[in-house]
Amino acid sequence: MKPTTLLLLTTTSLFLLTAAASSAERGPEIRTGDVDRFYAIYEQAGGKPTAQQLQQDYLDQGSEGLIEFAKMRRITGERIATANAERPALYIDARRCAAALPAVKTRLGVALTKLSELYPAPSFPPVTVAIGRGKPVGTANASGVMIGLEALCAANFLIPDPEDRFVHVIAHEYGHVLQPGAQVENAESTVLQASLLEGGAEFVAELISGSISYGHLLSATRGRELELETAFAADLDKKAQGSAWLYNGLGTPERPGDLGYWVGYRIAKAYYRQAKDKKAALRDIIEVSDAKAFLAKSGWRPGMALD
């Protein structure tokens, strides 16, 4: 390679990394215009907008992020209207969480700066905060992070403080933005594969923002690690959809839902701790493709101490 070409490539790489870091320091773009439009329609309708109004005036006029969110999570005017009729407090209370968004943006800027230092040339697409059908709290793909304001505001069981909750959940979703395996939903995904994706995003969230997003699982599982993870190990090859480990809601105090997030996080943490090259380990956690090989290399075993 010619010296001039090498210099040009080096300069370009430094520019791109500097630009990414600069973007992270400013914080991600947090778009809230969809929330404003929803509440204008909501107030005009006396708190009871029709399914047609919500579809035509809110969803059909939505931002790119909202349109993507609606497509990914089957959000329609009819489903929002039904949720509003059944749980009106959900949409009344959501406004209080919007006040936390400026502080959330600042803290995410710090978190993404750290991520840009640990993971080469990361992408920081925008966060779209919108109103949905009461669930999910959030989702993501390579185009950005989408957050349901009303759903995340109501999910105080995750983390009691709204500001902390938004920071850690959005940090988790940024983990999914970077994961190749999270870009396409796979109905045949196994418990292990899905848990490594969710747990990997949880590990990224903790690494850059200070906590996982499913914070309630830390206390709910304390002292039961061996029991729960032995049961998990027996279900590794089962389908994630319909399993006892993922996508099963809040659960009960005796058996919390979505425990695969917690086990996957512990497997990722075990992998990171045994690795000599931490940056390479983080790349492996984010880009995992062979779930069984990753598990074997992690050194994880049911009940192992990781605190």
131 and 33 inside one domain: yes
167 and 46 inside one domain: yes
In a domain, 55, yes or no: yes
144 and 38 inside one domain: yes
71 and 210 inside one domain: no
119 and 217 inside one domain: no
57 and 97 inside one domain: yes
| 209 pLDDT more than 80 | yes
List pLDDT tens digits, range 55-111. Answer: 999 999 999 999 999 999 999 999 999 999 999 999 999 999 989 999 999 999 999
153 and 34 inside one domain: yes
In a domain, 37, yes or no: yes
53 and 125 inside one domain: yes
In a domain, 71, yes or no: yes
In terms of residue numbers, what domain contains 214?
191-298
Question: What phi, psi does 141 have (nearest 5°)?
Answer: -150, -170
List pLDDT tens digits, range 145-156. Answer: 999 999 999 999
67 and 155 inside one domain: yes
Domains in the chain: how many in total? 2
32 and 151 inside one domain: yes
| 122 pLDDT more than 80 | no
160 and 197 inside one domain: no
**DSSP of the chain:** --HHHHHHHHHHHHHHHHHHHHHHHH---EE-HHHHHHHHHHHHTTT---HHHIIIIIITT--HHHHHHHHHHT--HHHHHHHHHH-HHHHHHHHHHHTTHHHHHHHHHHHHHHHHHHSSS---PPEEEE--SS--SEEEETTEEEEEHHHHHH-TTT-SSHHHHHHHHHHHHHHHHH-GGGSS--TT-BHHHHHHHHHHHHHHHHHHHSS-S-THHHHHSTT-HHHHHHHHHHTTTSBSTTSSSSS--SB-SSSBS-HHHHHHHHHHHHHHHH-S-HHHHHHHHHT---HHHHHHHHT--TT----
**pTM tops 0.75:** yes
In a domain, 267, yes or no: yes
In a domain, 7, yes or no: no
202 and 129 inside one domain: no
| Cα Rg of the chain (Å, integer) | 20
In a domain, 186, yes or no: no
In a domain, 303, yes or no: no
